[in-house]
Structure 1
Amino acid sequence: MFLSRTQTPECNWPILPNQPAHTHVNGTLYCWNRDLDTSYWIHEHAFSCLNFDSQNCVCPRLKADPEVAGIGVILAFFITAFLTVISTIFTLLITRTDGPLSPDGTWPPPFSPAHPPTLNKINHVSRQYIARPFIVFLHSHGVNIPVIAACATDLVISLSDTQLVTGLAVLVGALASLYRSDHDEPMSVYHFTIASDLAWFSSTTHLSSLLVLRYHPRISAKKGHRPTHIRPWTVRLPLTIRLVLMAVFAALLLWATTLGGYECWYSIMACPAKCTLTHPWGGEPETWVAVNTVLIVYGYSTHMLELSVTARKYWLDHLRPHVLTRDNKFPVPRLKQGLVGMMVSTARMLLFCFWNALGSDLCDVLEMMVWFALGCFWIAEDRRWGQAEMEGEHRQAENRLGYGQLIPIVLLLLPLIAVVESYAHHSEADKKKRFGQCSCGGCEWHGC
């Protein structure tokens, strides 16, 4: 179930009495009057939800909507999400090393006060055996690590905000089109499904990119550290805007998810999506609604708490020393602790393993890659189902790079421009810092 969504044969549109081989002729639909036991034809624009409820007419032919399911739109979403995933992984590799590499090629000593090691055991291993060798490799080839790290971080933050705003725009447009659907241009189940898939694609990659954002120097909550050189409102305003947009995005995503719970949702791709809203949930679509609701609530609540400076400081300073062990050693239940003590130690041991797994960057990266692959698969699968019900001219219209589809592809140049500008800024700042003229503007790797 978690790899594909199936079309239920029992939900196929019923065959009407005396149904001809061609049920769509010159823009008209074949219908059957059950009271008079006679057939009749209506124009496809006259098809309404009353016809859908009574199933006395076949659904209209599925028409192309390149603005939603066009190949250009899909490619733009895919490329942006791919860049977000790759840049996030690259940024984590060059910034999660428990301290910078010194000019002589050595690392800070363990438990250094300036750069204490991570408490997460999985993070410790991945940083020692994956991130640090990668940094040494780049350093040996003459790469300016501080500048590249700052540029990569800026790129991830830019792409993260792009994914958030784009996904929000897709959901707003899809929901508005759904409820404003009229008889002339009703939004089909297929196109609403594609819009939901694209929103999910943006959501998962955006949440994954927060791995970098939550440790950004101006956002992260380090014990005893407060950015005194920046006025509080300049720190809180961008973060507050992101949190508000995330809350709105999560609410709209929940809304769109619940709309797809109709038991025959995946078997009526050509029918108007608005007509399914009054029908009961059931089958696999209902299961997906439950699964997606849990994922949305869990994913957004945890990531929003991690972005909150107050919540992170409270966890680091007050909860973690009591929930886990104070010395961060693996808690082993012992018989001499007694029954209550063994139960507490067992609970701490399970929580310790759970926290090390879910709180590690390595597991987050693996989860990000899995969701990216599933998002690509679901979009391709749903698009294949929908285009199988289209006539040739409409199928070609969605596969043709028209004016409206070239725009999102051309807009992909914006991240490239941002990277060039960021590199120019940080390179100049790094040169000035070497001559002692200024700091590098909040860079994680250096400070004057």
Structure 2
Amino acid sequence: MFGSANCTQAPSEAKTDAGVAGAGVLLSFIITNGLALLLSAYIIILNLRKSSEAKIVRKLLLSFSDQQIITGIGIQSIGLAKMETMIPYHFFIVWMLSLLSTSTHLATLLALVNDFKRDWVLRWLRQFLMFINLILSSVFGIFVLKSVMKNLAPALPIGCVWTLPSKNTPSNAGISIAGTIAVIAGNCIVFALCTWYLHNRNNQKWLKIIQVAGMLVLIATGIGATIRVILLSQAFGTPSVPLEDTGEKDWSFGQLLPLLLLLLPLISAIEIFRGEMKVPHSTVDDEHTPLFNGELEDKPDGQVRTSFQPNPLWGSQSNLFRK
């Protein structure tokens, strides 16, 4: 499987990869994560104040989230496809960027959970993307864990962890191993909690507490991953492996493009604002708000309105398996 990877002799210097660790690529992930966390916190604060004047902000946040989760899945897929040539330094940076991506779309889930519950297609699409991201992130964590346990030479491809025999584990590897296992386990736990949060029909009682606590955790995760990326990357810090050149610091069109793409959600938000200035404000977070056809009518037999649209193939508003 890894026959084409040269695992016999580690070069003295490794090649740079601006497509993974270039300044523009890193900044695009960091800026998107920061904006998404700020917008999510703003929406949650509005909800706590019983205000819902955030239609444009919601659409802007959703655009950043969709862009980030697709980009995160894409960069992880590319990392796995290049495991025979990608060194652990770049592999770890991709893993940190995937954590920023995860932090972004989970913050969006906390803030816009009622928007996803309104439409079963959006809800299950979000669930599917979260599952793909979890699988890829867990695989990355296993590779990083194996590289630490085998004390892989920093200039060898990450794919060599499956062919090389184990070496003496460094004395400080315990912290790295514990941290890697904690991140993998944390991702699995967060995925389970987010699945419950996304599909639970009656979480209004705990909604505010979950949103505030979750945002604090995601802000800490985003800050931690950002610090690691800045300190470890050649573009902003000191890499852990000697590199042949300074290509990851150079600004080219390939580095400017990810930053220019950040303008698209802003332009869309301006267009939406100009087109919907006279539209009544959104009240999707208000309790018992009519959200789809049929809820404007009074429910027979004293049934309570709900903002959860069931999957038309199975499940009802009160039961997941009964139509």
The interval holding the TM-score normalised by the smaller chain is 0.7 to 0.9
The answer to whether the 8 Å contact 2:232/2:238 transfers is: yes
Match runs of 1:181-200 below 5 Å? 181=84, 186-200=85-99
Cα distance, 1:385–1:189 mapped onto 2, change above 3 Å: farther
Aligned to 2:132: 248
Matched to 2:20, the amino acid is V
Tell whether the 8 Å contact from 1:189 to 1:265 is kept in structure 2 after alignment: no
Which residue is equivalent to 2:198? 307
Residue 242 and residue 197 in structure 1: after superposition, are their counterparts in 2 closer, same or farther (change >3 A)?
same
Which of 158, 161, 171 is 1:276 aligned to? 161
Q: CA deviation at 1:422?
A: 2.5
Superposed, 1:34-433 pairs within 5 Å as 48-49=6-7, 51=8, 57-97=9-49, 99-100=50-51, 146=53, 149-178=54-83, 181=84, 186-216=85-115, 219=117, 235-261=119-145, 262-263=147-148, 268-278=153-163, 279-280=165-166, 283-284=173-174, 285-308=176-199, 311-313=200-202, 359-383=209-233, 384-386=237-239, 389-391=242-244, 394-395=245-246, 397-430=247-280
Tell me the CA shift for residue 371 of structure 1.
1.3
What is the CA-CA distance between 1:280 and the residue it aligns to?
A: 5.0
Q: CA deviation at 1:240?
A: 1.2
Q: Which runs of 5+ in 2 are unaligned?
A: 291-295, 297-323
One-letter amino acid matched to 2:159: K
Deviation at residue 86 of structure 1 after TM alignment: 1.1
CA distance in 2, matches of 1:303, 1:371: 16
Aligned partners of 2:23 and 2:251 also within 8 Å: yes
Q: Say if 1:264 and 1:96 are closer, same or farther in 2 by CA, change over 3 A.
A: same
Contact kept in structure 2, 1:62 and 1:270, CA below 8 Å: yes
Q: What secondary structure does 1:386 align onto?
A: coil
Deviations 1:312-367 (A, max 9, x none): 33x67xxx8xxxxxxxxxxxxxxxxxxxxxxxxxxxxxxxxxx89x9443322322
Q: Distance in 2 between matches of 1:265 and 1:195?
A: 20
Return the alpha-carbon distance in structure 2 between the equivalents of residues 59 and 289 of structure 1: 26
Q: 1:247 to 1:415 in 2, by over 3 A?
A: same
C-alpha separation in 1, matches of 2:5 and 2:198: 48
Matching residue's letter, 2:134: A
How big is the shift at 1:400? 0.8
Q: Deviations along 1:1-56, whole A, 9 cap, x unmatched?
A: xxxxxxxxxxxxxxxxxxxxxxxxxxxxxxxxxxxxxxxxxxxxx9822x1xxxxx
Q: TM-score, normalised by structure 1?
A: 0.56
Shift of the 258–371 alpha-carbon distance from structure 1 to 2, 3 Å rule, reads same
d(CA) in 2 for partners of 1:370, 1:266: 29
Provide structure 1 residue ranges, at least 5 long, that are not aligned to the other structure: 1-45, 52-56, 101-144, 221-234, 321-354, 431-439
Give the counterpart letter for 1:155 in structure 2: L
Counterpart amino acid of 2:249? N
**SS of the residue 2:276 aligns to:** helix
Distance (Å, rounded) in 2 between the aligned partners of 1:154 and 1:266? 46
State the 1:248 CA deviation: 1.0
Counterpart AA for 2:101: S
For the Cα contact (< 8 Å) 1:269–1:386, is it kept in 2?
Answer: no
CA pair 266-197 structure 1, distance change in 2 beyond 3 A: farther
Describe the shift of the 1:409–1:150 C-alpha distance in structure 2 as closer, same or farther (beyond 3 A).
same
Aligned equivalents of 2:82, 2:5: Cα separation in 1: 17
TM-score, normalised with respect to structure 2 = 0.76
Deviation at residue 441 of structure 1 after TM alignment: 6.7
Paired residue secondary structure (1:175) = helix
CA distance in 1, matches of 2:279, 2:285: 13
**Pairwise CA RMSD:** 2.9
Alignment partners' CA distance in 2, 1:79 and 1:419: 17
Q: Could you tell me whether the CA contact under 8 Å between 1:60 and 1:270 is conserved in 2? A: yes
Q: Aligned partner of 1:63: which letter? A: K
SS at match of 1:398: coil
* Secondary structure class of the residue paired with 2:201: helix
Three-state SS of the structure 2 residue aligned to 1:271 is coil
Residues in 1 aligned to 2:45 and 2:150: alpha-carbon distance in whole angstroms: 42
Residue 418 of structure 1 and its aligned partner are, at CA, apart by: 2.0
Q: Which has the larger radius of gyration?
A: 1
Secondary structure (helix, strand or coil) at the match of 2:35 reads helix
Q: Residues 273 and 385 from structure 1, CA distance in 2 versus in 1: closer, same or farther, beyond 3 angstroms?
A: farther
Amino acid at match of 2:248: E
Q: Which amino acid aligns with 2:79?
A: A
Q: Per-residue deviation at 1:444?
A: 4.9
